[in-house]
Amino acid sequence: MIWSAPAERSDDGAFDRHEPTKHDQENCAVIQSGVTLRLPPHSKMDLNTHPHRRYNPLTREWVLVSPQRTERPWQGQIEAAPMQRLPEYDPNCYLCPGNERSGGARNPAYTHTFVFDNDFAALQSETPAEKYADGLLIAEGEPGICRVVCFSPRHDLTISAMKPADLRRVIDVWVEQFQALGELPTINSVQIFENRGAMMGASNPHPHCQIWAEQSLPNETLKEVNSQHDYRARHDSCLLCDYVATELLKEERMVCQNEDFVAMVPFWAVWPFETLVIGRRHTTGMDQLGESERDALAQLLKQLTSGYDKLFDTAFPYTMGFHQRPTDGQDHLEYHLHAHFYPPLLRSATVRKFMVGYEMLAMPQRDITPEQAAARLREVSDKL
Ligand code: H2U
Ligand code: ZN
């Protein structure tokens, strides 16, 4: 027997909200009013208490959810609480204006954003795109370009602390970079991402992101292109447009929203407080966003990241990144612009989720349900 994607259900997402029962409360201490889900009455399964798998239609992979496990005692690793206060300027920072970088180049005295080619780039534009094949030993040269974008001259100004107008400048730079890199004949994928915090491997606290642009579609991008393509071919509709519509009706996984963008903990979230940011309008990339949509994106990113910071009263670490259409010259009408936030924290500023053991050998697993995570994020993000 082959196990694969579930057969499409006409009653997809037909879960109702209900008040937690005593049984719920006994089995799941973090359950909060109005955030539980249930299947139709004939179902014996309760997604609030029973271990179950959830399907991610974007990657076509599963995640194991174990809501009964949220009170598991923790005697494992405690991460050091990240430093909260940073200076506006750090003379030893490689990214601050006027400073020398570790590669020897000197940063200009920039006043807004600053983009430069990564001094230690993982991809190089001159790499020959030749193939190597020797039976099972297969390789390909991968030409590409890596850049770094400093969000502002301020060493301490994270996305959550930036003024929306300054954040808007960052979005404009993302659009410019997506267009300029995407136009190059050897570049078919432009991945913009931010590693925030030492816990996520950021090498420097100065707020910045990276751009890796390359010839091939990386694994995650390829999965999402294929799934959205197949969904459109089958339904004559967009997977993420349909998903946003579903979540707007359900509400229990919504975190915050404005006139153009929504942020939610997806039904299939892997990381405890993972979120998905999606444009309400169907656009295949940031270059198709209008002026007001770019402003709305800035507002939403600020609201979402401020909520994250409040959740555990810390500079909330995460990896975030935008998924946009491949820049191979095709329209890619199946593709819907979105951003993923993958934060590692689980219980506090010092206790993180580890993707080890079962996750490395079998599949991702989570305890706190996406509905519980969304309720907690909603609480802090509403109070802005
Ligand atoms: P991360 O913090 O996400 O690692 O990104 C910082 C990038 O900045 C990293 O890829 C580059 C590193 O190679 N960098 C430079 O290009 N020059 C420097 O002087 C310091 C860091
Ligand atoms: Zn700095």
Q: pLDDT tens, 106-137?
A: 999 999 999 999 999 999 999 999 999 999 99
Residue type, 383: K
Query: pLDDT tens digit string along 156-169?
Result: 999 999 999 999 99
**Residue 382 above 80 pLDDT?**
no
Averaged pLDDT for residues 292-316: 96
Same domain, 342 and 251: yes
Q: Which atom of ligand 1 is nearest to the CA of 201?
A: 4
| 242-to-57, 232, 239, 281, 334 alpha-carbon distances in Å | 12, 11, 5, 11, 12
Residue 106, phi then psi, degrees to nearest 5:
-110, 135
pTM: 0.89
Assigned domain for 124 exists: yes
Same structural domain for residues 248 and 164?
no
Asked if residue 101 has its Cβ within 6 Å of ligand 1, the reply is yes
- Domain containing 151: what range? 114-214
Judge if 158 and 305 occupy the same domain.
Answer: no
CA gap 185, 327 in Å, rounded = 9
Q: Are residues 228 and 363 in the same domain?
A: yes
Task: Evaluate whether residue 97 is within a structural domain.
Answer: no
Do 199 and 227 belong together in one domain? no
What spatial distance separates the first Cα and last Cα of the chain, rounded to whole Å? Answer: 51
- Atom 11 of ligand 1: nearest residue by CA position: 118
Whether residues 208 and 224 share a domain: the answer is no
Q: Which of 96, 119, 146 to mutate to test the pocket of ligand 1 (most atoms within 8 A of CB)?
A: 119
Whether residue 80 is contained in a domain is answered as no
**What confidence tens digit (pLDDT) does each residue in 267-281 have?**
999 999 999 999 999
Of the three residues 153, 179, 214, the one that is the final residue of a domain is 214
**CATH code of the domain containing 138:** 3.30.428.10
Q: Check if 319 has its Cβ closer than 6 Å to any atom of ligand 1.
A: no
Domain boundary pick from 214, 233, 256:
214
Ligand 1 atom nearest residue 119's Cα: 16
Give 119 Cα–ligand 1 centroid separation in angstroms.
7
Same structural domain for residues 223 and 202?
Answer: no
Mutate to test the pocket of ligand 1, among 96, 145, 192, 203 (most ligand atoms within 8 A of CB): 203
Q: Is the CB of 149 under 6 A from ligand 1?
A: no
Domain match, 252 and 374 both: yes
Mutate to test the pocket of ligand 1, among 118, 147, 155 (most ligand atoms within 8 A of CB): 118
Mean pLDDT of 76-85: 64
Do residue 230 and residue 369 come from a single domain?
yes
> Does residue 208 carry a catalytic annotation?
yes
Give the Cα separation of 194 and 3 in Å (integer): 35
Which of 183, 214, 245 is the last residue before a domain boundary? 214
Residue 28 phi, psi (nearest 5): -150, 95
Q: Are residues 195 and 286 in the same domain?
A: no
33 lies in a domain?
Answer: no
Q: Do 226 and 206 fall within a single domain?
A: no
Nearest one of 18, 17, 16, 8 to 55, comparing CA atoms? 8
- Within a domain: 189: yes
Are residues 304 and 200 located together in one domain of the fold? no
Q: Does the Cβ of 318 fall within 6 Å of ligand 1?
A: no
Number of domains in the chain: 2
